Structure 1
Amino acid sequence: MNVTNNVILNHEEINHKIRRIAFQIYENNVNETEVILAGIATNGYIFAKKLKAVLEKISDINPILCKVTIDKKNPGQPVKTSIASEDYENKSLVLVDDVLNSGTTLIYGVKHFLNVPLKQFKTAVLVNRNHKKYPVKADFKGISLSTSLHEHVSVVLEGKKFEVLLE
């Protein structure tokens, strides 16, 4: 099979999805002065940085980046964040990841943030796969895909050419 046949989203389409999700985040936080964008390392954090750049252009909201580190092989381990919990307490927070696969990573991220009182909690993903192990949903999503368990979605958000590939 030709590699180009596996491209689900190209560079331009990804930028369009990022912009649309940023507008949705803005609409949901129009009365807020700050929004915490908690990106799950690695690609979720890169995606959060791109959302932050667009939010700064389209609104007067101050988006604050937070890097969330979850051990994906052992998600029961404590979740680490780049900012202290006091810094996002009673604020609006969006947990950001690139792909929602089984929901494992997102559910452990949600669990971590439930230990802190938040004003509002939402989730954003670039790609939402429609087969989950956990009852977690994305509030903001770029694209939803019905894929088989044997297929893999790969997201490239660095360099000159962003892509979402189905492998």
Structure 2
Amino acid sequence: MTVSNNVILNHTEINNKIRRIAFQIYETNVNEKEVILAGIDKNGFVFAQKLKTVLQKISDINPILCKVSIDKKNPWHDVKTSIPEEDYKNQSVVLVDDVLSSGTTLIYGVKHFLNVPLKQFKTAVLVNRNHKKYPVKADFKGISLSTSLHEHVDVILEGKDYKAILK
């Protein structure tokens, strides 16, 4: 059996999704001076960087980037952030990842941020695969995609040709 790659989002579509999600974050935080964009390391952080760029263009909110490091094979181990807890305490936080599959990474990321009082907490993903085994949802999502469990979604956000591919 031959496995083919299907592009589910092309460069233009991903840029449109990033812009729409940035507007949604702005609308949700219109009265805030700052918002923490906590990107899960690797693609989630790259996605957060792109959201930051658009937010700076469309609003007067100061988006602060935070890299969230989670061992995806052992997510219950320590979650680390690039900024100290004091910097996001009583702030509006958006946890950002590229793909929401089972929800494992996102739920352990949420758990980490709930150790301090927050003003507001939301989640953003580019692709929501609808295979959750935890009660976590994406507040802001680019696309919802019903896939089979043996399929995989790769998101490429570097270079000049962004794409999301279903494998």
TM-score, normalising length: structure 2 = 0.97
Partner residue of 1:73? 73
What is the percentage of aligned positions where both structures have the same residue?
81
Corresponding position of 1:136: 136
* 1:21 aligned residue: 21
> Matches of 1:124 and 1:67 in 2, distance apart?
14
TM-score (norm 1): 0.97
Give the total of aligned pairs: 166
Structure 1: stretches of 5+ with no match in the other structure: none
1:20-49 residue CA offsets vs partner (Å, 9 max, x unmatched): 000000000000000000000000000000
- Per-residue CA distance 1:56-100 (angstroms, 9 max, x = gap): 000000000000000001111110000000000000000000000
* Aligned residue runs from structure 1 range 86-101, under 5 A: 86-101=86-101
Residue 102 of structure 1 corresponds to 102
Distance in 2 between residues matched to 1:70 and 1:35, nearest whole Å? 21
CA distance in 1, matches of 2:89, 2:130: 31
Output the CA distance in 2 between the equivalents of 1:115 and 1:2: 43
Runs (4+) off by over 3 Å: none
Q: CA deviation at 1:163?
A: 0.3
CA distance in 2, matches of 1:160, 1:131: 30
Q: Hey, what does 2:34 align to over in structure 1? A: 34
Counterpart of 1:116, as a letter, is V
CA distance in 1, matches of 2:130, 2:33: 34
- Code of the residue aligned with 2:86 in structure 1: it is E
In 2, Cα distance between equivalents of 1:86 and 1:94: 16
What secondary structure, in the 3-state scheme, does the structure 2 residue paired with 1:110 have? Answer: helix
CA distance in 2, matches of 1:61, 1:158: 25
Residue identity matched to 1:33: K
Please state how far the C-alpha of 1:2 moved relative to its aligned partner. Answer: 8.9
Q: Secondary structure at the match of 1:132?
A: coil
For 2:78 and 2:15, locate their aligned partners in 1 and report how far apart those are by CA, in whole Å. 33
**Which position in structure 2 is the counterpart of 1:150?**
150
For the residues of structure 1 that align with 2:92 and 2:135, how far apart are their CA atoms?
22
Secondary structure of 2:127's aligned partner: strand
Q: Distance in 2 between matches of 1:103 and 1:2?
A: 25
